[in-house]
Structure 1
């Protein structure tokens, strides 16, 4: 399959059993749910998938399950959230054996940050030594890669094929889209501003809202592609309260609660993430009702 990343690429949750083992049956069901709706790709083991908490064995098991269940219907991206070039490459080589189409890699982010040249070399080494296409995951608030550096990486490093621009809000995304790097695609992960991101030229999205309400996000993407701005804006106003309801320090437990309300199984969350409160559940229910999303429990 020729790698064509574009459009709606939901970052899936990583379901766990009560004893904190990957629940691969629940993951298969989520993969199938999204494929049946017609998403353009899937991402696993990112921050929505608690990638920072996963062992290499967990990451491989989750990626392998997604690849097998997808069976080539759409591209599968696997996230790596580690804090050294050595560890990223170790994870990347192991995950590459599953047949994923690309890796999504954060910058290193614990306390100390490399300079621009070391950041470029970091992505160069990851792409070369894993032999995989790489998407930059620019999300860490205190280790944000400036738009100018992202553009350099995309233009100068072979096999770095895109960026998921999350950190720095829409201003960083606007700067990056204005630079229009020829070496890779720009995906938005600014959840409350997906609609204007598309209008500015983002070539798709990889963000949590897509996982919770993929049907609304697909409808919005299609509306923008056909120039139906009124419909896209209406869908934005439905999506926005849902994003506000899932955004928070315990975001992945909130997302799993949101899936459960729709009759989907996101599995258990990992310790020590904070469980969802009754107030948070009610906020989710209210947002779903306003967006005409059916709640089953």
Structure 2
């Protein structure tokens, strides 16, 4: 199953906009074919890395699904859709005008609770977060997907030795779905390095979603997300971790986009 990419105006990236129903259908197809697939998401941080890190860019360009994760990315895509550039017929299809724009904003915590809708999902692996958060996320996923075998491996203090151990663990486990939450861009770097030798599965880069699913990290209220103010919630809870992304990184991205535009004019 090949999904058509759609451009995000201004940002110079593309994505495969899906709502929960659409992503569920895509994942069902991937489970049926049993091939290696990758699912990632675009927010301003990933867009910055896309334009500054060649390896990260290649990984995203070769990923099977690139979800819209982040209000600015969603809004810019929505403006393009309103102008008619992304129109597709039918509910749940990529960019369908019959589905509200906000339904296409899929952070990991928006679609992970829907994993129970997948047919034939029996083996799930969860890599990342500390031991306590990982264990709680595994327990939550067992409730979300009853009857599935869900196994976890903490990712705290990730290093080459732990990476080798994780690769061997996955080879033995032979999961169908892997949630890897090591933070961006480490999780993408690991997948880029290891994917050719890893067992066939759907590999999903989920960032901090493991701690969020576990209940360790509090999710922003849904109304804040719809207003595009989740950054304020994260800044309040984790000021040191989030301050640069909120106040510094947008300027880096602006400089990268201006440089890209100037090169295009040359």
| TM exceeding 0.5 | no
Whose RCO is larger (CA < 8 A, sep 6+)? 2
Which TM-score band applies after superposition, normalised by the shorter structure? 0.3 to 0.5
